[in-house]
Structure 1
Amino acid sequence: MAAPLNLEENGPFIPIIEEKDGENTRLVPNPRRKYDEDDRKKIEKGYKAKKLLVCGIGPDEFNRFSSCESAKEIWDCLKTAHEGTEQVKESKINMLTSQYENFKMREGETIHEMFTKLSLITNELRSLGEPISMSKQVRKVIRILPKSLGK
């Protein structure tokens, strides 16, 4: 009887069988020669996922992740490299929120330039899971426009 490990939580699928040693029972990896079709399909999914991730990263990143043995390992490394740890992510969110709240239009700056800078902040916040609604962004732009534009 095979008891599969969950790929999302534990890495690659490893078929497991129960081995009895007298009164004791323990779980051990199933020998490859005893894999059934279901085992082979699950293992193949892991290899395909790893191949897709490896093909999707550039040569610089490949060198950082080439030692990873599973798609889960590669994914976790990519996630940490690009998003950082939860602490780093929280710090980025705090910094960007502060930048958004203190954002002002500079003297001599065009509306287009100002909106581009504001969009960079709001897009980064959205990518970190902290979106700012469009209506809130519009209110922010109206508040920071110079009084001279209204005349």
Structure 2
Amino acid sequence: MAAPLNHEEGQSSTRPPRFNGHFYSWWKVRMHDYLMSEDNELWDIVLDGPFIPMMEEKDREKTNLVPKPRQKYDEADRKKIEKGYKAKTLLVCRIGPDEFNRTAHEGTEQVKESKIDMLTSQYENFKMKEGETIHDMFTKLSSITSELRSLGEPISMTKQVRKVLQILPKSWESKVDAITEAKDLKVLTMDALIRNLKTHEMNRNYDLSRRQKRISH
């Protein structure tokens, strides 16, 4: 069978097959074979998305995986990141912008699903550390829920409220019981909950400061 005309420029075995918007399935098979012949990890990158370096973050009860800061990348991380750019370059150099949006769609969906899985795991394992402020805890949790919402996976207000009450340290147990008994959690907003917790935190810190002053005198 003759090759589609729009691929005639891409028949060389030393460069990726060219695609200009037609015979996508045929081009995809040839691009798959080309990338596998270059490096069998390149096609995995096309499907799964670029490598994201991760690190362990420990709290008192669990160890969570979080994205590494760029400053902590090691040589292995950088090599994997470079390989991701190589896969992207080989795709982009042989197609136009319109076709790139089409061919990147499959990989984009894979990346989106991977991000959702990672963020969902972070949300489920999230805990407030003993000594951490309500503000710092809420900032971290909001970052996770906001990213999930932007990816089309919003978490309801009621679930977020219950999550905050569940992750508070043991020293907050009496306050959690008081809120649970006094408030209807189905209608309690996150803003109202955080204001309540911050007020309690401020009062606790004030009482602790007064006790320490009496002891020191």
- Normalised by the length of structure 2, the TM-score is 0.33
TM-score, normalised with respect to structure 1: 0.46
Q: Where is the helix percentage greater, Structure 1 or Structure 2? A: 2
